[in-house]
């Protein structure tokens, strides 16, 4: 079995590390010849528009998946005309456009903060009046990790926000004062069978995920069931195959969908040690039509991202039960270069370990 | 950090898969250009006596280890004159010679079946009379997986056994009617710190390991402490660094050392899923002078080797909690091509899962 993976970052690298024990071979495609997967697998480095290179990439491959959600849909369509591609192109196209994504949520009765498309300043003014400030103006496409967004807290800032982002297709939505950011990770196979990991609680700072805790301490069993039900609706509608992550806000005991990612997800990295089958292995099982693995948890897990620079690894590895994952990337500011997961049998044990690990990682109290 | 590994089989492959997440890079050396590590890492394929190739292998490497115990000691000495090598050469040289190994056990007051060196037929006759039949005649060197051995049950068979093995340096030892075969896996770092996994119970057939269960169900806490103490004595005497496996027989509540392996060991594969830190990661931590990881178990584990041919992977993966590991080797008779580990929270759960997994693997009742 050989899986072709579009994108060669850390998610691709972790897919390969999960797949090698299953006897799966990999070929990666990434415009960057120095992509992290190059150290551990076969990499074809070419532009996503290079059809000859894509043809080479497909030779001898059994199925194609992707690990990066900003891959041009045209690339995935080109591949899909020649080869099975999972998750389906439609999921990728929807996730790449915040407006289509919110409309899908609406259509499936998944609550989402009020939103509107913005093509001109008048759209923004009208929507802000209807929704009520504060609102967030966002590009419909390609924003991630907090880029391409402007929060508007008063009417006087509408113009400045418009000036900042105009030129791209935009949407505006209610700025949500959430208590918690959550995510749900589901897996669906080619026969429609589905498994889910328990909801995860996430902490972002500067738009970048810092910490994930699973299961989410703030989530009641009822809310967990509801979050999973939302993820299930999305997967069923999209005839989804693979891992889907749905990000949600929790506000006064209610859930609002924020966005979805049609790929393995940073908030699911804890599953490598914290669940019986990791999200990476289950994604591969799904796209290869193999039986899905159970998602049973091994305890309570916390994951910290390593961002910008790598603290002394000896200190991290001296924390009992800390599992270090480095991605083979050159550290630069705001870049995710690794993560650490800790699994404990009790939430008290997890809290103790988190404090120790936070010190080893040199985190401030905001992130630990 | 780059680790050079002499030998490129499945043990090297699993070392690399454990090391990549820690940011460790690998270079392998193996005479076979088709060695399993070639699929996932950099392989220098050359004879162990090729000094120029060994020099190339050492360029940019921080430490060297080995994953195969029949590597010529002269090769390891050549490397050790140029670079740190762990485990120490002395451990390898001792493990390669059954007589030196038994003498070391004796010297450390680790009980072992009575033995004697055999250089001529008279030595064998005298030793058989002193020890008492049945005995096993063995080559001192290079025997593994049941090769190079002859069991002598009556005096009439002495000559035939001698004829079969004469020409190699030999030893003879008491044939032990053991109740259980056990192993202990210890890890020692460059500062002398040591951690141990609990004793493991092993089932061999035709001299090949079929099944390992951890912790060993037949072992009392007292015997477990004793087994670990024997492993500790060996590591301390050898100023050992890395993973050491000690194989023992359990006979009427007593332990007898059989042999040791100065490397990660087949009976420790369950630690990948069944322990907080795997033997592979701990071996790397040890040889790189990083803090050792805790060996806490995640439950009860059983591991089955996949030997000779690979059963349908769909069936194996459909067993709840079964973790498949394939080595990328072409299946041939009696060849270890993979293994499967199952972890359960209770011994009853492990038994149920083992039966199901045995069926999926197509094992007879001898092995399941």
Q: Per-residue pLDDT tens for A47-65?
A: 999 999 999 999 999 999 9
Contacting A with CB below 8 Å, chain B residues are: 13, 17, 20-23, 25, 39-41, 276, 285, 290-291, 293-294, 296, 298, 310, 313-314, 317-318, 320-321, 323-326, 328, 338, 343
- B9 pLDDT higher than 80: yes
Nearest to B326 among A21, A39, A294 (CB): A21
Q: How large a percentage of chain A has pLDDT more than 90?
A: 92
Which residues of chain B neighbour A285 with C-beta distances below 8 Å? Answer: 317
> What separation in angstroms does the CA of B201 have from each of A85, B39, B108?
45, 32, 23
> Residue B73 and residue B93: Cα distance in Å, rounded?
6
Q: How far apart are the first and last CA of chain A?
A: 41
pLDDT at B195 over 70: yes
CA dihedral A144, A148, A149, A154 (to 10 degrees): 180
User: Is residue A208 within 8 Å of residue A336, measured between CB atoms?
Assistant: yes
List the single best residue of A18, A27, A271, A291 to mutate versus B (max B Cβ within 10 A): A291
At A348 the three-state DSSP class reads: helix
> How far apart, in whole angstroms, are the C-alpha atoms of residue B191 and residue B212?
30
Q: Do A326 and B17 touch (CB under 8 A)?
A: no
| Residue A350: pLDDT over 60 | yes
Could you please state the CATH topology (level 3) that the domain comprising A114-174 is classified under.
Dna Ligase; domain 1 (3.30.1490)
- Residue B366 has what pLDDT? 57
3-state secondary structure labels for all residues of chain B: CEEEEECCCHHHHHHHHHHHHHCCEEEEEECCCCCHHHHCCEEEECCCCCHHHHHHHHCCCCEEEECCCCCCHHHHHHHHCCCCECCCHHHHHHHCCHHHHHHHHHHCCCCCCCEEEECCHHHHHHHHHHHCCCEEEEECCCCCCCCCEEEECCHHHHHHHHHHHCCCCEEEEECCCCCEEEEEEEEECCCCCEEECCCEEEEEECCEEEEEEECCCCCCHHHHHHHHHHHHHHHHHCCCCEEEEEEEEEECCEEEEEEEECCCCHHHCCHHHHECCCHHHHHHHHHCCCCCCCCCECCEEEEEEEECCCCCHHHHHCCCCEEEEECCCCCCCCCEEEEEEEEECCHHHHHHHHHHHHHHCCCCCCCC
Interface A-B, measured as beta-carbon pairs within 8 A, has a size of: 77
Check pLDDT > 80 for residue B236: yes
Phi, psi values for residue A142, rounded to 5°: 70, 0
What is the pLDDT averaged over residues A245-250?
A: 97
Checking if the pLDDT of A147 tops 80, the result is no
Which tokens sit at B55? 């020099």
Task: Parse chain A into domains and list their residue ranges.
Answer: 2-85, 114-174, 180-361
Task: Report the pLDDT value the prediction gives residue B142, as an integer from 0 to 100.
Answer: 75
Question: Mutating which of A293, A294, A297 best tests the B interface, going by the most B Cβ atoms within 10 A?
Answer: A293
Distance (Å, whole) CA B281 – CA B17: 9
Using DSSP's 3-state secondary structure scheme, residue A253 falls into: coil
What confidence tier does A145 reach under pLDDT thresholds 50, 70, 90?
low
Instruction: Say if residue B280's pLDDT is above 90.
Output: yes
Strand order in the sheet with A63-66: A42-45, A25-30, A2-6, A63-66
Q: CB-hemisphere CA count at 13 Å for A83?
A: 26
Strand partners, B261: B245
Instruction: Compare CB distances from A21 to B20, B293, B324 and report the shortest one's residue.
Output: B324
State residue A146's pLDDT score: 58
Continuous segment of H or E residues that includes residue A117: strand A115-118
Mean pLDDT of chain B: 95
Q: What is the largest CA-CA distance in chain B?
A: 60
Backbone angles phi, psi at B225, to 5 degrees: -60, -40
Query: Nearest Cα to A297, choosing from B295, B343, B302, B317?
Result: B343
Closest of B353, B339, B352, B209 to residue B280, by C-alpha: B339
Token pair listed for B239: 């100023």
Q: What is the mean pLDDT of residues B6-15?
A: 97
- β-partners of residue B87 are none
Give pTM, 2 decimals.
0.95
Q: Taking Cα atoms as reference points, which of B292, B1, B278 lies closest to residue A328?
A: B1
- pLDDT score for A143: 61
Residues of B in contact with A2 (CB under 8 A): none
Question: What percentage of chain B exceeds 90 in pLDDT?
Answer: 92
From CA B65, how far away is CA B76, in angstroms rounded? 9
Residue A131, judged by CB atoms within 10 A of its CB (0-12, 13-18, 19+), counts as middle
With bands split at pLDDT 50, 70 and 90, how would you rate the model's confidence at B63? Answer: very high
**pLDDT at residue B93 tops 80:** yes
Residue B367, pLDDT score:
62
For residue B9 the two structure tokens come to 């089989």
* Class of the CATH-defined domain A180-361: alpha beta
pLDDT at A194 over 80: yes
Q: Is the peptide bond before A134 cis (omega within 30 degrees of 0)?
A: yes
CATH architecture assigned to A2-85: 3-Layer(aba) Sandwich (3.40)
Put simply, the answer to whether A324 touches B298 (Cβ < 8 Å) is no
Chain A residues at the B interface, defined by Cβ less than 8 Å, are: 13, 17, 20-23, 25, 39-41, 276, 285, 290-291, 293-294, 296, 298, 310, 313-314, 317-318, 320-321, 323-326, 328, 338, 343
What pLDDT is stored for residue A366 in this prediction? 57
Nearest CA in chain B to A291: B318
| Low-confidence winner among A23-27, B36-40, B190-194, B348-352 (lowest mean pLDDT) | B36-40
Which chain A residues are within 8 Å of B341, Cβ to Cβ? Answer: none
ipTM of the complex: 0.94
Residue A74 has pLDDT above 90, yes or no: yes
**How does pLDDT run across A160-171, given as a tens digit for each residue?**
999 999 888 999
Q: What is the mean pLDDT of chain A?
A: 95
Helix (H, G, I), strand (E, B) or coil at A307: strand
Q: What are the CA-CA distances from residue A290 to residues B179, B313, B316, B357 (Å)?
A: 40, 8, 10, 16
Residue A119 has pLDDT above 90, yes or no: yes
Asked whether residue A123 carries a pLDDT value surpassing 60, the answer given is yes
Going by C-alpha positions, the residue among B218, B153, B228, B169 that lies closest to residue B194 is: B228
Residue B40 reports pLDDT greater than 80: yes
Contact A23, A62 (CB under 8 A): no
DSSP structure class, residue A85: B
Assess whether pLDDT exceeds 80 at residue A368. Answer: no
Q: What is the pLDDT of residue B206?
A: 87
How far apart are the C-alpha atoms of A101 and A95, rounded to whole Å?
Answer: 6
Q: For A313, list phi and psi in degrees, rounded to 5.
A: -65, -30
Contact A323 B294 (CB under 8 A): no
- Region for residue A192 given its phi and psi (left: phi exceeds 0; alpha: psi -120 to 50; beta: otherwise): left
Same fold, A2-85 and A114-174: no
| pLDDT at position B143 over 90 | no
CA angle B346, B351, B354 (to 5 degrees): 125
Give the Cα-Cα-Cα angle A300, A304, A309 (nearest 5 degrees). 160
Task: Answer yes or no: are the C-beta atoms of A174 and A113 closer than 8 Å.
Answer: yes
Tell which wins on pLDDT, A143 or A285. Answer: A285
In this prediction, residue B309 has a pLDDT band, given cuts at 50, 70 and 90, of very high
What integer is the mean pLDDT of A134-154? 84
């Amino acid at each position: 079995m050989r899986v072709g993976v579009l994108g060669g970052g850390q998610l691709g690298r972790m897919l390969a590390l999960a797949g090698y024990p299953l006897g799966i071979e990999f070929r990666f495609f990434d415009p960057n010849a120095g992509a992290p997967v190059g150290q551990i697998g076969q990499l074809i480095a070419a532009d996503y528009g290079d059809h000859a290179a894509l043809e080479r990439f497909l030779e001898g491959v059994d199925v194609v998946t992707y690990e990066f959600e900003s891959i041009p849909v045209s690339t995935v369509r080109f591949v899909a005309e020649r080869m099975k591609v999972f998750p389906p192109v439609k999921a990728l196209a929807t996730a790449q456009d915040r407006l289509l994504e919110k409309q899908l949520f609406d259509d499936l009765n998944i609550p989402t903060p009020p939103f509107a498309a913005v093509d001109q300043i008048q759209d923004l003014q009208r929507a802000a009046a209807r929704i009520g400030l504060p609102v967030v103006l966002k590009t419909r496409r390609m924003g991630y990790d907090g880029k391409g967004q402007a929060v508007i807290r008063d009417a006087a800032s509408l113009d400045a926000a418009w000036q900042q982002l105009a030129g791209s297709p935009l949407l505006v939505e209610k700025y949500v004062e959430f208590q918690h950011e959550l995510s749900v990770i589901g897996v669906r196979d080619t026969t429609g069978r589905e498994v889910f990991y328990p909801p995860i609680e996430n902490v972002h700072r500067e738009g970048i995920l810092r910490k994930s805790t699973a299961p989410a301490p703030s989530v009641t069993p009822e809310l967990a069931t509801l979050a999973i039900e939302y993820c299930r609706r999305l997967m069923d509608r999209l005839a989804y195959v693979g891992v889907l992550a749905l990000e949600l806000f929790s506000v006064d005991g209610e859930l609002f969908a924020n966005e979805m990612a049609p790929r393995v997800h940073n908030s699911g990295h804890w599953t490598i040690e914290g669940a019986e089958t990791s999200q990476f292995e289950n994604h591969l099982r799904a796209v290869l039509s193999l039986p899905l693995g159970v998602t049973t948890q091994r305890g309570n897990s916390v994951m910290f991202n390593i961002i910008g620079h790598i603290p002394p690894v000896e200190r991290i590895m001296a924390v009992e039960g800390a599992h270090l994952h480095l991605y083979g990337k050159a550290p630069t500011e705001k870049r995710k270069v690794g993560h650490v997961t800790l699994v404990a049998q009790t939430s008290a044990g997890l809290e103790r370990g988190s404090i120790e690990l936070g010190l080893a990682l040199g985190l401030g109290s905001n992130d630990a």
